[in-house]
């Protein structure tokens, strides 16, 4: 039997002058390849969950297709759900930030109209404004943002010796007050480790419901997308604050790939505050940071 929603998606694509054709087989769903004559994007449709996932390179077509899916209800929110995500895990500088957001079906349309989606698809200049909108629509304690500053991070990492163990601990700590306030038991998390067992164990130990974990969960859950925005906005805010504290020329650099810039910032801090001082700004277990300290 033809799926009425899939047919509606195909008609909406055609109405914009785009072409579609079947893509590769995917588990529990249907993939469409969408083209506009210049670019191509993928649209995965999962009928059981009633959700869509847009993929492909970051092109005008992909962004337009994402906007179309949002306008058609690309995120389906049928029950209250707590979404969680983190920021800063792979960055030399700055804290580790974890956010939890409870999204009720009644507030979902307002979040969609505001443009809530995966934070990686949002321009940096809009991030803070969008985070403020989320915090207004979902006021605390229905949302919680936990910030583990670099000094505390380095101490906890030294004690645990594993970033995923630290994240599991922080996820449980962040989820607990939201669950207690809302009574919502449906929790969706971005899967940050290969195995789901560690996070499940941390939640069970804290007396929390087992979370549903998924890679790129921010693309399938509006609550996780909202959490990704809150976590990223707070991480950016902390980089700016730490940059000012260090007397740096702006926010401390994000990421871990621009080695010349990262090393220049680290040497600046070491020259001002000594090798011990770097632990107040950076995650010192990264091997390149260790090399600088040596």
What is each CA distance from 74 to 1, 54, 130, 204, in whole angstroms? 22, 9, 19, 31
pLDDT in tens, 264-284: 999 999 999 999 999 999 999
CB 188 within 8 A of CB 84: yes
Average pLDDT, integer, range 2-27 = 84
| Token pair of 224 as six digits | 């996780």
The predicted structure's pLDDT at residue 108: 85
Longest dimension (CA), the chain: 69
Threshold 0.95, pTM exceeds? no
The predicted structure's pLDDT at residue 4: 64
pLDDT in tens, 125-137: 889 999 999 999 9
| Residue 123 to residue 100: CA distance in whole angstroms | 21
The C-alpha angle 211, 213, 219, rounded to 5 degrees, equals: 120
DSSP single-letter state for residue 26:
B
pLDDT at 254 over 80: yes
CB 196 within 8 A of CB 226: no
The model's confidence at residue 2, banded by pLDDT at 50, 70 and 90, is very low
pLDDT at 169 over 70: yes
Q: Which domains does the chain have, with CATH numbers?
A: 4-71 (no CATH), 81-240 (3.30.420.10), 256-293 (no CATH)
pLDDT in tens, 50-72: 678 898 988 999 988 887 776 66
pLDDT in tens, 73-116: 556 666 899 999 999 999 999 999 999 999 998 898 788 778 88
The predicted structure's pLDDT at residue 1: 32
| Residue 146 to residue 166: CA distance in whole angstroms | 13
The predicted structure's pLDDT at residue 291: 87
Phi, psi of 97 (to 5 degrees): -120, 130
Nearest to 228 by CA among 79, 110, 97, 65: 97
Q: Bigger pLDDT: 2 or 48?
A: 48
Q: What is the arrangement of strands in the sheet containing 212-214, beginning at the earlier edge strand?
A: 143-148, 96-103, 81-87, 187-190, 212-214
Average pLDDT, integer, range 3-23 = 84
pLDDT in tens, 154-168: 999 999 999 999 999
What number of CA atoms fall less than 13 Å from residue 282's CA on the CB side? 31
Q: What percent of the chain has pLDDT over 70?
A: 95
The model's confidence at residue 16, banded by pLDDT at 50, 70 and 90, is confident
Q: What percent of the chain has pLDDT over 90?
A: 66
pLDDT at 238 over 90: yes
| Residue 210 to residue 101: CA distance in whole angstroms | 16
Burial of 266 by CB count in 10 Å (0-12 exposed, 13-18 middle, 19+ buried)?
A: buried
Q: What is the mean pLDDT of the chain?
A: 90
The predicted structure's pLDDT at residue 214: 84
């Amino acid at each position: 039997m033809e799926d009425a929603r899939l047919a509606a998606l195909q008609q909406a694509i055609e109405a914009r002058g785009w072409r579609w054709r079947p893509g590769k087989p995917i588990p529990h769903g249907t993939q469409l390849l969408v083209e506009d004559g210049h670019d191509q994007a993928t649209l995965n449709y999962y009928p059981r969950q009633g959700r869509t996932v847009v993929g492909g390179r970051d092109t005008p077509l992909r962004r337009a297709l994402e906007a179309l899916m949002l306008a058609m209800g690309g995120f389906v929110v049928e029950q209250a759900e707590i979404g969680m995500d983190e920021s800063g895990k792979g960055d030399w500088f700055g804290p580790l930030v974890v956010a939890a957001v409870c999204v009720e079906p009644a507030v979902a349309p307002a979040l969609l109209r505001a443009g809530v989606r995966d934070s990686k698809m949002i321009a940096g200049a809009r991030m803070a404004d969008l985070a403020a909108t989320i915090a207004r629509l979902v006021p605390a304690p229905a949302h919680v943002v936990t910030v583990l500053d670099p000094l505390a991070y380095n101490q906890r990492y030294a004690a645990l010796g594993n970033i995923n163990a630290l994240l599991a601990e922080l996820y449980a700590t962040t989820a607990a007050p939201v669950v207690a306030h809302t009574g919502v038991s449906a929790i969706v998390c971005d899967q940050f480790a290969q195995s789901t067992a560690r996070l499940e164990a941390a939640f069970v130990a804290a007396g929390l419901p087992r979370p549903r974990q998924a890679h790129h969960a921010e693309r399938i859950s509006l609550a996780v997308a909202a959490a990704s925005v809150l976590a990223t906005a707070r991480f950016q805010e902390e980089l700016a604050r730490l940059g000012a504290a260090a007397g740096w020329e702006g926010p401390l650099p994000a990421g871990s790939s621009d080695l010349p810039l990262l090393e220049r910032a680290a040497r600046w801090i070491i020259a001002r505050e000594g090798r011990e001082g770097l632990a107040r700004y950076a995650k010192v277990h990264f091997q390149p940071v260790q090399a600088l300290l040596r």
